[in-house]
Structure 1
């Protein structure tokens, strides 16, 4: 999200609860219900839907796609009984949420560039199918989503309702992972890849050039991670445990706490160079259980893990 926005005005308004202009912008949101202090939520510099979420995207066959570079990152979703799908970060960086249906299952594929958090959720909750958009607000530098049915607000990094009717409710996270386009295509030549949206963005460009080499996160006021871990170092989050990516990269395979993590050379960072395809190598991570099944996880920045799991376990050695 871009620097700017009514940050000071928003902070002043939050002292006594939800600012009045929030209520004007979000007349259907129940601000009487919240699990977090409003002072923790701030403008990311864009208005509601200023980052336009996508719905019902178009796809093309993997073998026919020619616009993506081999090492570009994609979010892979391989659900049982459904054709595998890839969602390129060159598009996700500009849209952050894709409302899709895969094998009859409504899903939300999400990516928060400021946390490097790429998570896929089941959109069904309490007998309803939710459609998600971007509020334009941040908490702990992480995207705050909203559902269009109740206009409740949701924390992307943990899939938790934080304001409104669905406060305290959790979305079910589905197994998905980031990997290079080359790996997805080689494994799934008949798979599907999201087609380029028609929104006229600079797809393939990184609007956050150099971000994952920064010393501090953007619009983050919380504690930095412990153990001398750099705030924008990547960690593999599984539940409330975090494995530093540097450790996994050095060992290539780790079996601990009932899960097996593996690393291979592959994708480049989407948050490094101005051109995503030219980013530095970070590699591909898979997380599986003892039976070899893919597990829900996230490869996020260390500061975000610490912010949302302050009592989480750091798997250092």
Structure 2
């Protein structure tokens, strides 16, 4: 693991007192991280790209909504660890080009895609990941009509630079990075070592949905899921899973044993139709959403090895 100091601690400020409302300043196709609750909450990638961590409490559970722009990694973790509630910030370091968080209580450092502490009092401890799909803002609005969205910290009438939220949270540098062939800090900021990708069966920045159970980790490349008709069934760590891809994103559910097929953006199984992103059926049944980690292929391979991909 290569750890690199890039910025001072907290130079990228986490959001520690998040506020929510029903209005969002961005576009309908903007991606949001969804945490289901009462009400469900949307955390726009547009805001997360500038803060990377949101310390929040949903339905009484302290959580950290985390995002690494360089490795495209979106993971939501519980903040309760061994009887303590931790508050996370950005360490200013990267480990294999991935965000390194630190907790303010013990100063332990945690590699974000893994959710594992790499130094400090909690070294070797892993955070509990929670189900948190990425949806478009418009899809979130339609599926969670009572849902709330994270409000911007920058921009608006009290912004010291007089900027609007649209300007303060400009996505053009992140969009440029997403379109680029190369990857890593060097491609994002023009500094650090250049990364090389030694395989031709998958691109370094292919979107992967990673699922881990009982010590087993399998990454599901979006391209492979799409090639199999948008539905993949598998078993990871003894858990039967269903990975589904649609125009709105990719997500994972526990497989109840039905023979699923995706047609016209709808799942069909057991004489019912199911929403591929929410797991809700037309007759009131609900698929159990599983914890999963969305990231680029290079980040998944850094953590789990070359042979950890489904179908390759």
Interval containing the TM-score (normalised by the shorter chain): 0.7 to 0.9
Unmatched 5+ stretches in structure 2: 160-164, 186-192, 257-286
The 8 Å contact of residues 253 and 261 in structure 1, kept in 2 or not, is answered as yes
Does residue 229 of structure 2 align to residue 232 of structure 1? no
Partner of 1:124: 80
Partner of 1:294: 289
Specify which of 233, 247, 251 is matched with residue 224 of structure 2. Answer: 247
Give the Å deviation of 1:226: 4.1
Query: Using a 3 Å threshold, how does the CA distance of structure 1 residues 170 and 312 change in structure 2: closer, same or farther?
Result: farther
Partner of 2:28: 70
Give the Å deviation of 1:207: 2.8
Matches within 5 A, 1:148-167: 148-167=104-123
Residues 106-115 or 232-241, more deviating: 232-241
What do you get for the CA RMSD once the two structures are aligned? 1.9
Unmatched 5+ stretches in structure 1: 1-35, 267-283
Partner of 2:269: none
TM-score, normalised to structure 1, is 0.76
Partner of 1:15: none
Local SS of the residue matching 1:76: strand
The 8 Å contact of residues 97 and 133 in structure 1, kept in 2 or not, is answered as yes
Distance in structure 2 (CA, Å) of the matches to 1:253 and 1:141: 31
Higher strand share: 2
Specify which of 29, 48, 69 is matched with residue 9 of structure 2. Answer: 48
Local SS of the residue matching 2:8: coil
Query: Using a 3 Å threshold, how does the CA distance of structure 1 residues 68 and 263 change in structure 2: closer, same or farther?
Result: same
Partner of 1:23: none
Query: Using a 3 Å threshold, how does the CA distance of structure 1 residues 225 and 175 change in structure 2: closer, same or farther?
Result: farther
Partner of 2:277: none
The 8 Å contact of residues 140 and 222 in structure 1, kept in 2 or not, is answered as no
Partner of 1:265: 247
Distance in structure 1 (CA, Å) of the matches to 2:92 and 2:27: 30
Query: Using a 3 Å threshold, how does the CA distance of structure 1 residues 206 and 60 change in structure 2: closer, same or farther?
Result: same
Query: Using a 3 Å threshold, how does the CA distance of structure 1 residues 164 and 212 change in structure 2: closer, same or farther?
Result: same
Offset from partner CA, 1:263-310 (integer Å, 9 cap, x none): 2213xxxxxxxxxxxxxxxxx112100242111112211111110001
Specify which of 35, 57, 81 is matched with residue 101 of structure 1. Answer: 57
Give the Å deviation of 1:131: 0.2
Distance in structure 1 (CA, Å) of the matches to 2:134 and 2:8: 28
Does residue 23 of structure 2 align to residue 58 of structure 1? no
Number of residues of Structure 1 aligned to a counterpart in Structure 2? 256
Partner of 1:16: none
Query: Using a 3 Å threshold, how does the CA distance of structure 1 residues 241 and 226 change in structure 2: closer, same or farther?
Result: farther
Distance in structure 2 (CA, Å) of the matches to 1:244 and 1:225: 17
Does residue 149 of structure 2 align to residue 170 of structure 1? no
Query: Using a 3 Å threshold, how does the CA distance of structure 1 residues 235 and 74 change in structure 2: closer, same or farther?
Result: same
Query: Using a 3 Å threshold, how does the CA distance of structure 1 residues 304 and 128 change in structure 2: closer, same or farther?
Result: same
Residues 215-224 or 148-157, more deviating: 215-224
Offset from partner CA, 1:230-268 (integer Å, 9 cap, x none): 1112112112111211122342222222211112213xx
TM-score, normalised to structure 2, is 0.77
